[in-house]
Amino acid sequence: MSQVTTTDLYEVTMALSYLREDMRAPATFGLFVRDLPPERGFLVAAGLEPALDHLSRFRVGRSDVEEFAEALRRPAEDLGPLLGLSFDGEVRAVPEGRLVLAGEPLLEVTAPLPQAQLVETYLLSLLCHQTVVAAKAARCVLAAAGRPLVDFSLRRAHGPEAGTTAARLCALVGFAATSNVAAAARYGIPAAGTMAHSYVEAFGSEEQAFRAFARTHPGPVTFLVDTFDTDRGVATAARVFRDLGLGPGCGIRLDSGDLGALARRARGALDAAGLPDVQIIASGGLDEYGVDRLVREGAPIDVYAVGSRVGVAADAPYPDAAYKLVEYDGRPVMKLSPGKVTAPGRKQVFRGPGLRDVIGLANEEPPEGTEPLLRTVMRGGLRTEPPDTLAAARLRFEADLAHLPEEARRIRSPVAPLPTVSTRLTALTTVVRHRIEVRTGSGR
């Protein structure tokens, strides 16, 4: 099914007008986040792969024109200029997995103006959602301080596809596994799962439930121990583990209550039962804040399962992102709206050690000791290289994270690095602003 009509109506009205006015010269739009969400020291570039898939397939068909016409309550013939419109432009972007900061373009699209305009909404939707979820998951990795994490987000994600996307993003930043079977198969992520409280309730007792589960799954098993009374559940699990000769690789899961206190009591009971290798897995409304607290308290938890709050980036579910025209027909342009001023011209981000970034113009030389972040990933509407891999994105993430300043890594009150602006970009901004103010009289 075509995704062309998954867009805001004003994209259609503008694109049609451009075509009618024969405004088909190349236009460059930059997609960036104005300010980082609260409690964020960085974002993680994500969503590029599906964005490129969308652009490579983008073509306005007859059924799309009919849907546009119906939305506008106009005859389909009026929208004829849109028929057959496809994307044949260039895309420069930050590869997935790299850390990004406020004001830095994640992506720049250069294409004939109607094309570049019509793809705006879809690109914003993809990159905004995935970038904030990836950043939330990355903060969980920081909070866990080396302990494995499992994605449990599917059941409360904003739709099944959003849950599957969240599983991929969690894997990108270092999660060990996901409960999502579809994501595991699609992306090659290890699958992990235990049992629900309903399973235990369906049997006459916890012990019956645990023994039945172990008979069906003879490998390492994990028992959910808090359906009735957690301490008794732990004791029952320990007895079943001993009776069946189970130990290494097995675990118990705590899903409610004071997880720190319960984990300490459970660890003591398991050790006393001669089961030091049985792991303790914690879940239940966790995100980076809960994980960080438990780790700092020294809770003897081996694995953290996080779900709902991460899959929807609950405390900061969207970034203040924009997709703005920065150049048309070779002419740098900018917006002067209060609080939403943009910088003109095609850009590049030059990264120095410790994420000391410089935002400059695309055609300027990199400052000494820096590397350019944006690279050309599409030209003439075609990818310039094979699709990226999850493994490669994860390596890029790990490399950037290793150089992230300590104050930006903090879970509470992080301080994000602030990119600087190059001399050339500053000069161009001054010139373009002055030109606009003279033309409009707004600078008086």
Same domain, 124 and 16: yes
Q: What's the rounded mean pLDDT across residues 127-136?
A: 97
User: E-assigned strands of 394-441?
Assistant: 420-421
Same domain, 233 and 128: no
Q: Which residues contact 94 (CB under 8 A, 6 or more apart)?
A: 45, 48, 100, 104, 105, 106, 107, 349, 373, 374
User: Does the pLDDT of residue 419 top 90, yes or no?
Assistant: yes
Same domain, 323 and 288: no
Same domain, 149 and 126: no
At 326, give phi and psi (nearest 5°).
Answer: -120, -15
Query: Is 3 a member of any domain?
Result: no
Q: What's the rounded mean pLDDT across residues 49-63?
A: 97
Q: Which residues contact 289 (CB under 8 A, 6 or more apart)?
A: 143, 411, 412
Same domain, 27 and 111: yes
pLDDT tens track for 70-93: 999 999 999 999 999 999 999 999
Q: What's the rounded mean pLDDT across residues 255-275?
A: 97
- Angle, CA of 167, 287 and 280, to the nearest 5°: 85
User: E-assigned strands of 307-392?
Assistant: 321-328, 331-332, 347-352, 356-361, 371-372, 375-379, 382-383
- Sign of CA pseudo-dihedral 335, 340, 343, 349: negative
CATH number for the domain that contains residue 165: 3.20.20.70
DSSP bridge pairs for 111: 27
pLDDT the model gives residue 357: 97
Query: Is 367 a member of any domain?
Result: yes
Distances (CA, A) of 249 to 52, 126, 302: 41, 38, 11
Calculate the dihedral angle through the C-alpha atoms of 154, 256, 234, 294, rounding to the nearest 10 degrees: 90
Out of 308, 343, 372, a domain closes at 308
pLDDT the model gives residue 219: 81
pLDDT the model gives residue 222: 97
- Contact assessment for residue 163 and residue 187, using Cβ atoms and an 8 Å cutoff: no
Token couple for 391? 């493994």
Same domain, 150 and 106: no
DSSP bridge pairs for 99: 44
Distance CA 48, CA 57 (A): 14
Out of 308, 335, 366, a domain closes at 308
pLDDT the model gives residue 440: 85
Counted domains in the chain: 2
Same domain, 273 and 327: no
Q: Which domain holds residue 55?
A: 9-133+316-440
Query: Is 416 a member of any domain?
Result: yes
pLDDT tens track for 167-210: 999 999 999 999 999 999 999 999 999 999 999 999 999 999 99
Token couple for 148? 């494995």
DSSP bridge pairs for 26: 112
pLDDT tens track for 267-302: 999 999 999 999 999 999 999 999 999 999 999 999
Give 200: exposed, middle or buried? Use CB within 10 Å, 0-12, 13-18, 19+: buried
DSSP bridge pairs for 59: 86
CATH number for the domain that contains residue 434: 3.20.140.10
Q: What's the rounded mean pLDDT across residues 407-426?
A: 97
Higher pLDDT, 2 or 356: 356
Same domain, 120 and 153: no
Average the pLDDT over each of 273-277, 302-306, 436-440 and give the range with the smallest value: 436-440
Q: What's the rounded mean pLDDT across residues 246-274?
A: 96
At 371, give phi and psi (nearest 5°).
Answer: -130, 145
User: Does the pLDDT of residue 339 top 90, yes or no?
Assistant: no
pLDDT the model gives residue 117: 98
- Angle, CA of 161, 166 and 168, to the nearest 5°: 100
Token couple for 24? 């088909």
Same domain, 114 and 190: no
Query: Is 73 a member of any domain?
Result: yes
Same domain, 158 and 293: yes
Per-chain mean pLDDT for the chain = 96
User: E-assigned strands of 189-272?
Assistant: 222-224, 251-254
Query: Is 66 a member of any domain?
Result: yes
Distance CA 304, CA 151 (A): 9
* Residue closest to 140 by CA, chosen among 184, 175, 167, 116: 175
Same domain, 115 and 161: no
Distance CA 352, CA 403 (A): 10
Same domain, 147 and 247: yes
Out of 287, 308, 329, a domain closes at 308
**pTM attached to this predicted model:** 0.95
Distance CA 410, CA 423 (A): 31
pLDDT the model gives residue 214: 96
User: Does the pLDDT of residue 304 top 70, yes or no?
Assistant: yes
Query: Is 271 a member of any domain?
Result: yes
- Contact assessment for residue 304 and residue 150, using Cβ atoms and an 8 Å cutoff: yes
- Contact assessment for residue 27 and residue 327, using Cβ atoms and an 8 Å cutoff: yes
Query: Is 4 a member of any domain?
Result: no
